[in-house]
Amino acid sequence: MPETDTPRVLVLACGALAREILDVVAMNRWRHVTLECLPVGLHNRPEQIPAAVEQRLAAASQTYDRILVGYADCGTGGLLDPIVDRYGATRLPGAHCYEFFATSPRFAELHEAEIGTLYLTDYLVKHFDRVVWRGLGLDRHPQLLDTYFGNYTRLVYLSQRPTPRLVNSAEAAAERLGLRFEHIATSYGDLETSIAEFAAAADLRLPQLAESV
């Protein structure tokens, strides 16, 4: 089949989801999907996410037939949705990656049970020191620990592909922050189902996709 007949599908995602999205794409053998990631530093600056996504969508919408924005609301206060709609793209469900990994009903239960909960994913455990500790300036100003986390009581590690090393690291992070530790294995949750739905919709609209996979 000529290259030009292949639908062009882009997943434009948060850098913190790169490995997980690549895993889901590989498991499903979606060879036609291109993954692009925005800097993970936006995790700590959510007010900058809509503009960063829009800038990339403006260019990518000329090149790709379908685009999945690999962000939840992520603290943008609903400002991401009109941008996603304007470019005819789709975004991941929920308020945060914690929510779609845990799935919404389970996440609501967790929040309801203990609102002072800090959530970490595989990515945040692996990069806890850079994204959380140094990202919040705690390496330079450890006296701010209580200002940031004084109202938190527990840390829940929502794991995608847990290893003993990652669980130990998550537990160490909890200890560093003075929080009780819990581990819940979520796998990919709604991330996987959302990408599958997106791919299925692409298949429906672009029948030649089935041949290209």
Partner 1 sequence: MSDDQELDLSALPDDELVAQMHDDLYDGLADEIAEGTNILLAREWTASDVLNEALVEGMRIVGIDFRDGILFVPEVLLAANAMKAGMKILRPLLAETGADTIGKVVIGTVKGDIHDIGKNLVAMMLEGAGFDVIDLGINTDVDEYLDALDEHKPDILGMSALLTTTMPYMKVVIDTMVERGIRNDYLVLVGGAPLNAEFGEAVGADAYCRDAAVASDTAKELVLRRRMMASEDA
Query: Which residues of the chain form contacts with partner 1 (CB under 8 A)?
Result: 46-47, 73, 75-79, 95-96, 111, 115-116, 136-138, 140-141, 143-144, 147-148, 151-152
State the nearest-atom distance from the C-beta of 43 to partner 1, in Å. Answer: 13
For partner 1, the closer of residues 125 and 138 by Cβ is 138
Q: Output the smallest distance, CB 194 to partner 1, in A.
A: 17
Q: How far is the CB of 175 from partner 1 (least distance, A)?
A: 20
The DSSP code for 69 is E
Report, in Å, the least distance between residue 167 CB and partner 1.
25
The dihedral through the CA atoms of 45, 50, 55, 57 has a sign that is positive
Angle, in degrees to the nearest 10, between helices 18-27 and 189-205: 50
Closest CB to partner 1 among residues 133, 203: 133
Cβ proximity to partner 1: between 169 and 190 the closer is: 190
> Do the Cβ atoms of 156 and 117 come closer than 8 Å?
yes
Angle formed at CA 123 by CA 119 and CA 125, multiple of 5 degrees: 60
CB nearer to partner 1: pick between 48 and 212: 48
Could you tell me the smallest distance in angstroms from the CB atom of residue 157 to partner 1?
Answer: 19
Do residues 128 and 120 touch, judged by C-beta distance below 8 A?
Answer: yes
- Looking at the Cβ atoms of 5 and 47, the one nearer to partner 1 is 47
Q: What are the start-end ranges of the H helices in the chain?
A: 18-27, 49-60, 80-86, 97-102, 104-113, 122-126, 145-149, 164-177, 189-205, 209-212
154-159/180-185 β-pairing: parallel
